[in-house]
Amino acid sequence: MFRGKSGIKIYLLTLLISVAVLGAVAYILLVGMVPIHKGAQTHTSSIEEYQFEPDAEQEITMLAVGCSNRGDVPYGFVLIKYSPAEHSLIIAPIPWQITATVGTKTYNLPRFYEKIGIQSVVSAVENAFDIQFGKYMMLDIEGFAKLVDYIGGVIIDLPNDISYHDDSGLTIGFNAGEQLLDGEMLASLFRYPNFEDGEISRCKFMGYAFAEMINQNLEPRLVPLVDMAFPTIINSAKSNINAADFSFRRDAIIYTIEKGGNIARYIEPQGEFDLRKTVFTPSDEYIAQVNRVFGKAKIKGYSPLGIS
C-alpha cells in the first residue's frame, strides 16, 4: 500500500526508541527538548566494543494510547513489544471499535476509557487477545507531531493524491509520490477519515509509518541522549511506567541503538465491521497472531483488573 525509503539521517531517534520501548509509538507527547543537529554529538563505540548482551527478562509490552488533546476520549491504540534479545520491536495498531468484556461490562475501547478509565482500556485489550502486559502510556497528538519534527520525519511514497477538509478546520492535501512527512503532516494523515478500507487502512498506515520512522533513523550516535530522554517523556505523559522500568532496560536500549538495523515491523489488523462501522470483530487468525507474538507476560504481582 505504501513504500518507505531508508537512509534519512537524524540524531534524536533515542527519544522515539525510549517511547516505543517504554512509552508510546502511536501518540507521543514530548516538549522542551532541544534538537541535536548533525555534528553536535559524536559517539565512537561499536556493537563489538559494547559488551552488554540483553536477555528475555528485559522484554516489555505496553499499550500506547492517543487522543487529540489532553483529557479527550482517546481513539488511537497501539500495542508495542520490545524484545532486545531478539533485536525486535513489534507494533500492532488496534481498531478502536474492537469490543471486549471486563468484569460485567462490555464496551469498545473509547467507551471503556470514558466510563471507567485508562486501566480498564488496558484490561479490555488484554481480554480481547488473551494476553497480559499491564503497562500503558497515554499521550496527545500535538506532542506526537512535535516529536516527529525533532526526529526529522519519515519518507513515505503515497500511492494516491489525498485531499480533505472539514468544518473542524482539519485540512489535508498531498500529491501522490515519495515525500518527507513532518510531524504535522503525519498527524493529519492519522486523522484522515477516508482511507479506502476505513479504520483497517488507518491502522495499517499507522503501523507502517511508525515502523518506517524507526528503521529509517536508527543510529548509534543517539546513545548520548538516552538518559535525558526518558524523564522528559514520563513527565509529559499519563503512564504507569516508572524509572525502575527504564533503569532495568537502559543497557538494552543502548545495545539496540548500537546494533542498528531494521528492527521494527507491524501487524495488520484483520476482521469484520458491522454495517454501521461501530463494532469490529477480530478474526480468529488475527487474535491468534497477536496472542502468539505478544504472549502472556510474566508480571510479578500482576492480576487482571476486575470491574463490576
Question: Tell me, what's the pLDDT at 70?
Answer: 81
* 299 touches 132 (CB < 8 A): yes
The answer to whether residue 211 is domain-embedded is yes
Q: What is the pLDDT of residues 175-222, one digit of tens each?
A: 999 989 998 899 888 888 898 889 999 999 999 999 999 898 888 877
pLDDT of residue 134: 92
The enclosing domain of 59 has a CATH number of 3.40.630.190
Spatial separation of the C-alpha atoms in residues 240 and 134, rounded to whole Å:
9
The reply to whether 301 falls in a domain is no
Q: Which residue has the higher pLDDT, 65 or 35?
A: 65
Task: Please answer whether residues 15 and 150 qualify as being in contact, where contact means their C-beta atoms are separated by less than 8 angstroms.
Answer: yes
Q: What is the pLDDT of residue 18?
A: 44
Asked if residue 102 belongs to a domain, the reply is: yes
Tens digits of per-residue pLDDT, 235-267?
A: 667 889 999 999 999 999 999 999 999 999 999
The residue-averaged pLDDT of 124-141 equals 92
The model's pTM: 0.80
Mean pLDDT of the chain: 80
| Number of structural domains in the chain | 1
Share of the chain above pLDDT 70, in %: 77
Interval 93-111: pLDDT, tens: 999 999 999 999 999 999 9
What is the structure's pLDDT at 302? 36
pLDDT at 115: 96
Q: Is the pLDDT of residue 55 over 50?
A: yes
For residue 305, being part of any structural domain is answered with: no
Which pLDDT tens digit goes with each residue over 10-50? Answer: 323 434 444 444 443 333 323 223 332 333 344 444 444 55
Domain-located, residue 306? no
Residues β-bridged to residue 86: none
Q: Is residue 246 part of a domain?
A: yes
Whether 149 is in a domain gets the answer: yes
pLDDT at position 228 is 78
Distance of alpha carbon 26 from alpha carbon 277, whole angstroms = 22
Is the pLDDT at 298 greater than 80? The verdict is: no
Determine how many CB atoms are found less than 10 A away from the CB of residue 228: 12
Q: Does some domain include residue 302?
A: no
- Please list, in sequence order, all residues whose beta carbon lies within 8 angstroms of the beta carbon of residue 269, skipping any fewer than 6 positions away: 92, 93, 94, 95, 200, 203, 204, 280, 282, 286
DSSP string, 108-132: EHHHHHHHT-HHHHHHHHHHHHT-B
Q: Which domain holds residue 164?
A: 3-294
